[in-house]
Amino acid sequence: MSNIKDQLDPQKILDKINLIIDNPAASDKEKELLQKAKSEIDKGGKLESHLIDLRNWLLPLVASHKISEDGLALYKILRADRQVGMNEGINLIKGTLEEPFK
């Protein structure tokens, strides 16, 4: 199994985007968002910023179950990079910084 950094390789992301754009199971909205992301990535700039934008654009499709299986797989890759561990020292419920669990 490849790790998240391998999956976030710019060329691999573009390949996944192209496959989903060509996938008839993908909705027009999904294809539109992926085309927009691809265009932004092609222009250059910080890849991480473009991937965060793409993740955020795909979220409504994920929440409404209006995303293809391949689109959901891409979203999960983008989301996996942002997971917060239990020992990160961040209490998201209170919104305060605390010492990590020992």
Helices (H) and strands (E) counted in the chain, each on its own, are 5, 2
Residues 39-66 pLDDT 10s: 998 898 888 889 999 999 999 999 999 9
Please give the structure tokens belonging to residue 2: 């490849």
85 Ramachandran zone, left/alpha/beta (phi>0; psi -120 to 50): beta
SS3 content of the chain, % helix, strand, coil (to 5): 60, 5, 35
Rounded Cα gap, residues 85 and 70, in angstroms: 26
Q: Does this model's pTM top 0.75?
A: no
Mean pLDDT, rounded, of the chain: 79
Q: Where are the domains of the chain?
A: 4-80
pLDDT of residue 65: 93
Confidence bin at 72 (pLDDT 50/70/90): very high
More reliable by pLDDT, 75 or 95: 75
Task: Give the position of tokens 């008839």.
Answer: 24
